[in-house]
Structure 1
Amino acid sequence: MSGPNSDYDPVEVTPLRADEVEAMRDAALAAIEAAADLEALKQARLDHAGDRSPLALANREIGALPPQARKEAGKRVGQARGAVNQALAARLAVLEAEHEERMLAEERVDVTLPTDRRPRGARHPITTMSERIADVFVAMGWEVAEGPQVEAEWLNFDALNLGPDHPARTMQDTFWLEPAEAALVLRTHTSPVQARTMLTREPPIYVVCPGRVYRTDEIDATHSPVFHQVEGLVIDRGITMAHLKGSLDHFATAMFGEGITTRFRPSYFPFTEPSAEVDLVCFVCRGTGTADGGAQSCRTCRGEGWIEWGGCGVVNPRVLVACGVDPETWTGFAFGMGIDRTLMFRHGVEDMRDVFEGDVRFAQPFGVEI
């Protein structure tokens, strides 16, 4: 019976010789260092640190050695495998950092670039203009008042001193609702809002009333059966035409810029006395009536230097009495302008049909101003 192989020399086992272990380690380190990306590093790990790698196979040979030889061989192989694993971890960190930097550079998105995935919307310029006008008067301490578009005949006409024989009551100017005995109309102006305000509030009253109105006009470049007005009403003690002039001058400046003033021309309205037409200094020629250095007549005002804007006047005492306001104590003024006309003046719109036809190409240049 033979004894244990105490003379076994592990150096004679080729995979465990010091030079072979060092060669395996150096080959693994070289492959790891040469890996240019994560995929190449993965393959290097499989080739030099996997279960079938040279160092893994050499590690299996250690079990066949006699006890006295295992320690030295195990230490030699273990140090080689440790060096390989450290190199793998270090190279992995470098390659992952490079990969992340490359992704940040290649997949970066410039969030400031415009996109056409969803077309940019726009608010309708009439809406924007109505709110801008309201803001002018709210800043002066006024309030915004609103009323229904289907209005009672009495509020639309009688309360405003438009008698039964007034031509505005005919079908030529007014949309009447059926049945006729209901005495309802589509309001022809926003003045009924002023009447409702005087009936429900105690003076002093400072209100501005923007809104949609209806008249039986034919559609053309300057007329529409549906349009928009803004009216103002002030009821207080000691109110005069001077207060009206100052308010409208401020309004004109806010709409058309510094230096734009108004002038009054005598006129007649049933609900104001005295009454006046309001003209603006032409915002193109600034009242000169000329263009191109005086060589031609201004096309905007047709050489007159003024543009018709609306109507105004001192509130008729009959209207005050009809709405329950004592004309011996209170006086006031009222005015009315077309919001559509103001928009056309400000932005050079030549055809009113562009405002109402609903073509998005008209509204888009005005943007989403709030």
Structure 2
Amino acid sequence: MTTLLSPRDLEVALELRDLSDPAGGPHAMQPLLDDVLAALTSTWSCSLDVQRRRPLVSVEDNYDRLGYAAADVTRDARYSRYAAETVMLRSHTTAGVPPALRALARTAAVEADVDVLLALPGVCYRRDSIDRLHVGTPHQVDLWRITTTGSAGRRLDADDLEQMVELVVGAVLPGARWRTSPAQHPYTASGLQVDVCTASGWVELAECGLAAEHVLAGAGLAPDRYTGLALGMGLDRALMVRKGIPDIRVLRSTEPRIAAQLLDLRPWRPVSSQPSVRRDLSIVADAPVDAELLGDAVRTALGPAVEDLEAVTVVSSTGYADLPDAARRRLGLRQDQVNVLLRLVLRPLSGTLTDQRANELRDQVYAAVHRGPHGEWATR
């Protein structure tokens, strides 16, 4: 039985603002995406079809029709968020590609030639680690150029893919050096990872490849007549690279001095940095320990205060057999449990965090993740 989201968790997820969508108000992510789309369509002289699909998708579209194997670990409820046995919150915007291609196949049935850029931006939902570059609800965009061999005169190939990468990188970070390395995706052939050189080193920007024939065929587009390029990019990471933003939490901040800088693509001007506050928690957890699930539980426990959370790290995990008897008794540890040292790093984006408030947040997290009979509280 797949672990399902609670009605409240689902409600919270669906209420989350999509920063790439102008319908929710202006945000710097929108002109960045516009620049990318303009660079591609003006060079290729192709049509553009921007689709903003609902976050709830079928498991078939999210995994099966893209070529994921039934046993792939990414399907596990530790990493994916299921609303029902056959419905989930999309784990990537690529989940919108199969229905977009099916719709294109219906249109193509009455048109001689096709040359279109499908753009599918939106929020994705994962159970992910927590640090300054990662969040459980990242923004992505899938960019798929689909053509008939008649309209392009030939099949799209590795040279076309390289041009696509060059155009995307040039729009996100003009003048930046970039490199590619081989990468595997079940829905592409000749897959690549794209890295860009930034002031802090090489950073992954996107992944891409030639559209896999099985994905086209499954949507009703015959591979001998249709050909395609596929690129997926994290919009949060792209915007952080473009503006020089060091912390992903900044992108959703409502603090006026920060929010005012998130309306354009001008370089980031640091707002006064607050010192970090560290709290180490010795907890009892059920084995095996999963850092992603713990991170998800921490987010849920903190609620709106999650904005003050910079990172969660599993420092150590010690099993029953490796602990002395005194420690087992003190913790009330069962043989199927482990003692985890969990480190919280709290750093508010604005204002200050008092020791009292840090301890309150620490206790909120402790209450949510500790599975032992005895408690160790900071505020009680």
* TM bracket, shorter-chain basis: 0.5 to 0.7
Query: Structure 2: which 5+ runs fail to align?
Result: 1-24, 109-113, 150-154, 266-380
2: CA distance, partners of 1:368 / 1:342? 14
Asked whether 1:354 is paired with 2:236, we answer no
- Give the one of 167, 178, 182 matched to 2:73: 167
1:237-316 alignment to 2 at 5 Å? 237=149, 238-258=155-175, 260-280=176-196, 282-284=197-199, 300-301=200-201, 306-316=202-212
Asked whether 1:195 is paired with 2:98, we answer yes
> 1:314 touches 1:334 (CA, 8 Å); kept in 2?
yes
- Once the two structures are superposed, residues 207-253 of structure 1 have per-residue CA deviations (whole angstroms, 9 ceiling, x without a partner) of 22221111111432111111111111122221111111112201211
> 2:41 touches 2:117 (CA, 8 Å); kept in 1?
no
> 1:190 touches 1:213 (CA, 8 Å); kept in 2?
yes
Normalized per residue, which structure has more helix?
A: 1
Larger radius of gyration between Structure 1 and Structure 2: 1
1: CA distance, partners of 2:198 / 2:127? 31
Q: Which amino acid aligns with 1:222?
A: L
- Once the two structures are superposed, residues 17-50 of structure 1 have per-residue CA deviations (whole angstroms, 9 ceiling, x without a partner) of xxxxxxxxxxxxxxxxxxxxxxxxxxxxxxxxxx
> 1:142 touches 1:208 (CA, 8 Å); kept in 2?
no
1: CA distance, partners of 2:47 / 2:179? 23
2: CA distance, partners of 1:217 / 1:363? 25
Q: CA deviation at 1:367?
A: 4.0
- Give the one of 108, 118, 122 matched to 1:211: 122
Query: Structure 1: which 5+ runs fail to align?
Result: 1-121, 285-299
* Identity of matched residues, %: 25
Describe the shift of the 1:262–1:357 C-alpha distance in structure 2 as closer, same or farther (beyond 3 A).
same
2: CA distance, partners of 1:257 / 1:357? 26
> 2:40 touches 2:164 (CA, 8 Å); kept in 1?
no
In structure 1, what is the equivalent of residue 322 of structure 2? none
- Once the two structures are superposed, residues 72-109 of structure 1 have per-residue CA deviations (whole angstroms, 9 ceiling, x without a partner) of xxxxxxxxxxxxxxxxxxxxxxxxxxxxxxxxxxxxxx
Q: CA deviation at 1:267?
A: 1.3
SS at match of 2:71: coil
> 2:36 touches 2:167 (CA, 8 Å); kept in 1?
no
- Give the one of 241, 248, 264 matched to 1:345: 241
Q: CA deviation at 1:158?
A: 0.9
Q: CA deviation at 1:308?
A: 1.9
Q: RMSD between aligned alpha carbons?
A: 2.1
Q: Which amino acid aligns with 2:209?
A: G
SS at match of 2:78: coil
Asked whether 1:226 is paired with 2:147, we answer no
SS at match of 1:221: coil
Describe the shift of the 1:142–1:263 C-alpha distance in structure 2 as closer, same or farther (beyond 3 A).
farther
2: CA distance, partners of 1:246 / 1:368? 27
> 2:79 touches 2:126 (CA, 8 Å); kept in 1?
yes
